[in-house]
């Protein structure tokens, strides 16, 4: 499959991808919905008004002339599939409807550099999981010792907590260093001030499309039908604030100040060619968490750090989504088994994704082993935790035969704490 729009092999956005996003032109105009194709954004509100999305379930409803993807997400898998098929048809190199219509092309195609990308959804609820066994083992070893690294429940259920959706921000948003209470080891009483142990968490997130009724769990065999698409997530973490506050109810201020996500939502269908088996689960999970089919994906993930005195960024992490012990389907099934209702636009995240080698650890906490092994940067600096001015960039992609299914980037820069 090839588009009439020239797409470079290294681009994250070939015709096989077509991720959805919300944008507005930089010269003015209201937000609307588009898909990324190469260096362009295809304005779906223009196609909708031109009558090119007939018989998809979205016609005459203004679904794409909206400031969020929520109404489209709520229409379900069959509509998503039909719209995707039509978009791939219209962008195909052999289809003249869009290719040979100069007016329509000018109206519908915009350079990505000419638009502002916005949060893709109105996020009602945000749930963060703890689904990487390597990450959980590393953290548990640091704080409880190797023999007690994993809590007794960890291999039986996907551990998670309800996060804060109001502070989910789009890529490129600066993040001020958070303040809070901390209890240094050499102090008898807690102190208040800016976090000194500010960290990143390399995660993937997925948006819920069609939800479920309260009291009606989502069976694991149907769980993926509720996933609209995936994004990159950096769930910033203040480790010193968290260490003091997390008992007995878990993280609070240490995680609620900001969570950054990438702007393009990659449809789950685009990832199908890259479906793989996840790690073997021992002991076998309870029946409601068992799924016969492969339920992970081969997504390469990288993290780059650029300090304020660095001329260019340095890669510090390289890992893979497939290391996750608990799958997205298992996390959704467990989330709803007690009767919780999910809604269109809800965001769920994997928790930090780590692999077996040091360079595959998805946080500074693990990379520096809680400060015992500082990270060396090419300009002679070291890092244990993030410093003011540091910019973090996360990226991810699936490698196809001559093309990539990519997620773009999620970036964020640390600013000093507010007075």
pLDDT digits (tens, 9 = 90+) for 110-148: 999 999 999 999 999 999 999 999 999 999 999 999 999
The one catalytic residue among 12, 27, 89, 135: 135
Nearest to 21 by CA among 55, 69, 58, 77: 69
pLDDT digits (tens, 9 = 90+) for 323-360: 999 999 999 999 999 999 999 999 999 999 999 999 99
CATH classification of 126-415, choosing from 3.90.850.10, 2.60.40.10, 3.90.1150.10, 3.30.70.270? 3.90.850.10
- Rounded-to-5 percentages of helix, strand, coil across the chain: 25, 30, 45
* 20-118 classified as CATH 2.30.30.230: yes
What's the pLDDT score for residue 249? Answer: 93
Residue 164 above 80 pLDDT? yes
Instruction: Give strand ranges (E) for 112-236.
Output: 115-118, 126-129, 160-162, 168-170, 175-176, 179-182, 191-194, 198-199, 202-208, 227-234
Residue 229 above 80 pLDDT? yes
pLDDT digits (tens, 9 = 90+) for 372-382: 999 999 999 99
The domain ranges of the chain are: 20-118, 126-415
What integer is the mean pLDDT of 152-180?
98
Confirm whether 135 is a catalytic residue: yes
pLDDT band at 55 (very low <50, low <70, confident <90, very high): confident
* Residue tagged 């996907």 (tokens): 158
Enumerate residues 6+ apart whose C-beta is below 8 A from 43: 32, 34, 107, 108, 109, 110
What integer is the mean pLDDT of 57-85?
94
Nearest to 46 by CA among 117, 141, 110: 110
pTM: 0.97
Residue 396 above 80 pLDDT? yes
pLDDT band at 59 (very low <50, low <70, confident <90, very high): confident
pLDDT digits (tens, 9 = 90+) for 248-269: 999 999 999 999 999 999 999 9
């Amino acid at each position: 499959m090839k588009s009439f729009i020239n797409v470079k092999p290294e681009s994250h956005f070939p015709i096989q991808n077509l991720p959805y996003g919300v944008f507005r032109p930089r010269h003015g105009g209201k937000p609307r919905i588009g898909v990324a194709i190469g260096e362009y954004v295809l304005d779906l509100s223009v196609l909708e008004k031109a009558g090119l999305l007939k018989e998809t379930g979205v016609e005459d409803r203004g679904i794409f002339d909206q400031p969020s993807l929520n109404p489209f997400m709520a229409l379900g898998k069959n509509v998503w599939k039909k719209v995707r098929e039509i978009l791939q048809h219209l962008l195909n190199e052999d289809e003249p409807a869009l290719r040979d219509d100069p007016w329509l092309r000018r109206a519908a195609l915009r350079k990505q550099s000419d638009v502002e990308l916005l949060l893709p959804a109105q996020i009602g609820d945000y749930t963060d999981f703890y689904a990487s066994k390597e990450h959980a083992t590393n953290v548990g070893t640091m704080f409880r010792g190797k023999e007690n690294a994993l809590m007794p429940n960890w291999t039986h259920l996907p551990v998670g907590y309800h996060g804060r959706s109001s502070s989910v921000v789009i890529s490129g948003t600066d993040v001020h260093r958070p303040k809070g209470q901390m209890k240094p080891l050499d102090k008898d009483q807690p102190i208040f001030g800016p976090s000194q142990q500010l960290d990143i968490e390399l995660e993937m997130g997925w948006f819920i499309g069609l939800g479920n009724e309260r009291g009606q769990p989502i069976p694991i065999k149907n769980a993926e039908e509720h996933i609209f698409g995936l994004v990159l997530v950096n769930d910033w973490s203040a480790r010193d604030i968290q260490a003091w506050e997390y008992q007995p109810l878990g993280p609070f201020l240490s995680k609620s100040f900001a969570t950054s996500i990438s702007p393009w939502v990659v449809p789950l269908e685009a990832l199908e060619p890259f479906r793989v088996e996840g790690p073997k689960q021992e002991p076998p999970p309870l029946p409601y968490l068992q799924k016969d089919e492969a339920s992970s994906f081969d997504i390469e993930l990288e993290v780059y750090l650029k300090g304020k005195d660095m001329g260019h960024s340095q890669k510090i992490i390289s890992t893979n989504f497939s290391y996750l012990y608990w799958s997205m389907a298992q996390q959704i099934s467990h989330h709803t088994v007690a009767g919780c209702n999910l809604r269109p636009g809800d965001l769920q995240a994997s928790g930090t994704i780590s692999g077996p080698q040091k360079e595959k650890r998805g946080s500074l906490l693990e990379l520096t082993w809680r400060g015992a092994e500082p990270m060396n940067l090419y300009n002679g600096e070291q890092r244990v935790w993030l410093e003011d001015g540091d910019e973090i960039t996360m990226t991810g992609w699936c490698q196809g035969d001559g093309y990539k299914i990519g997620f773009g980037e999620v970036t964020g820069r640390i600013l000093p704490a507010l007075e």
